[in-house]
Structure 1
Amino acid sequence: MKLPEIIGTVGGVGYLKPAPGTWGSLAALPLAWLLHVVAGPWLLVFAIVAGFIKGLWATSHLIKGQENHDPAYIVVDEVVGQWIAILPLSIGAAHAGVSILALWPGWIAAFVLFRFFDITKLGPIGWADRRKGPLGVMLDDVIAGVFAAIGVLIFAGIAHGLLGI
């Protein structure tokens, strides 16, 4: 494998069947945990930005000359989007001084919400998905990640505020 393929497929995860995007999202979870444990939310933010930039670069190489502008085996976009969905958990855990794993209901919410928004392509997610080129490949998952992160915050507010959990 060449470097663009390693990055774009996240070390080959994108070749797993069925549903490579779901496999990419699952692969993002332990990586997010590791980034948080090593240096907290700031490292996760850095990884999101670096992953987006590297994803653009790798995707531009992988789709060159192809009709399919968003092949299923490219999953670096799912990793970046899933990390965005996890970011509120990293920030919350660091702020509260607790293990990020203690926020396990948020992990489930982040995963399910991200997959929901990534699959349904609602509103601006669909707009970004219809863009041609590497930016479209990456941007729809970034927006899905932002929507999922907002959902995580809403669920946390309900659980901790209204329900007092």
Structure 2
Amino acid sequence: MRCPAARPPGTSATCWHGRRCCSRCSRWCRTCAVLPARSRRASPERTAVGAPAAVPTRPLTGAQRFALAACGLGWIPKAPGTWGSLGTVVVALPFLGSPLVAWTCVGLLVLAGSLACLLWGGRAVRPDGRGDPGWVVADEVAGQALALAGAVPAVLGHGLTSAWWLVAAAFVLFRVFDITKPGPVRRLEQLPGGLGVLADDLGAGLAAGALVALVGHFA
């Protein structure tokens, strides 16, 4: 139906160009492409107050969940974060004998954990926004590897048999900082999406690695 220039009886809907559209017609107005008032309905994509509704995130695939769980370590029922950190130490230990291999291994662990969190961690955040679920431990992998980097110079200089305690210290200190989240570490957790999932663990790993490196330098 065509929009008249003047408002005829029984009209109500306003067209984009300021003219009126017949409310008795349930079809789209061909002239102005506006749906008449009688047939307009509230859009399901908008909230009750008229603001756009949040777009639902795509569910994680099995492979993505497996990566975020650090090859299944996060699915261990008790203390999954500790298991994720311990698994990182166990994987890295055999490669700490030579400088190139040691630094490559540590770097790859940090990179793998970080990429998993940045790519998919935001979709695993709890609906209430209160952090990531316990089974997501890719962030622990990245943080623990960063903490281990502080022990690498001592291990390379004195051997693993003499500097093993620094590796153990890197593990313990990282878990303490990751759980207690002192000062700036807790603030990093407030960052949005996958960055917030990852950043606090990198902060905890950096603090633990710095302390271990300092102790190893003077030991």
TM-score, normalising length from structure 2?
0.64
CA drift at 1:92: 3.1
CA–CA distance in structure 2, aligned partners of residues 83 and 13 of structure 1? 15
CA–CA distance in structure 2, aligned partners of residues 43 and 108 of structure 1? 18
The match for 1:76 is: 138
Q: Does structure 1 retain, via aligned residues, the 8 Å contact 2:69–2:137?
A: yes
CA drift at 1:19: 1.6
| Alignment of structure 1 residues 99-114 onto 2, 5 Å | 99-114=159-174
Q: Does structure 2 retain, via aligned residues, the 8 Å contact 1:85–1:146?
A: yes
The 10-residue stretch of structure 1 (41-50 or 24-33) with the greater mean CA deviation from structure 2: 41-50
CA–CA distance in structure 1, aligned partners of residues 160 and 111 of structure 2? 21
| Alignment of structure 1 residues 12-161 onto 2, 5 Å | 12-36=72-96, 39-63=101-125, 66-67=127-128, 68-94=130-156, 96=157, 98-158=158-218, 160=219
1:44-77 Cα distance to aligned partner (Å, 9 max, x none): 22331233123311313433x8334411110010
Q: CA RMSD in A?
A: 2.1
The match for 1:10 is: 70
The 10-residue stretch of structure 1 (101-110 or 28-37) with the greater mean CA deviation from structure 2: 28-37
Higher relative contact order (CA 8 A, sep 6+): 1
Q: Which has the higher helix share?
A: 1
Q: Where does structure 1 lack aligned partners over 5 or more consecutive residues?
A: 161-165
1:81-100 Cα distance to aligned partner (Å, 9 max, x none): 01111112223333x2x543
Q: Where does structure 2 lack aligned partners over 5 or more consecutive residues?
A: 1-60
Question: Quick one: structure 1 residues 132 and 104, their matched pair in 2 at CA, closer, same or farther if it must change by over 3 Å?
Answer: same
CA–CA distance in structure 2, aligned partners of residues 43 and 77 of structure 1? 16
CA–CA distance in structure 1, aligned partners of residues 206 and 72 of structure 2? 25
Question: Quick one: structure 1 residues 37 and 61, their matched pair in 2 at CA, closer, same or farther if it must change by over 3 Å?
Answer: farther
CA–CA distance in structure 2, aligned partners of residues 54 and 102 of structure 1? 34
CA drift at 1:108: 1.4
TM-score, normalising length from structure 1?
0.83
2:117 corresponds to which letter in structure 1? G
| Larger-gyration structure (1/2) | 2
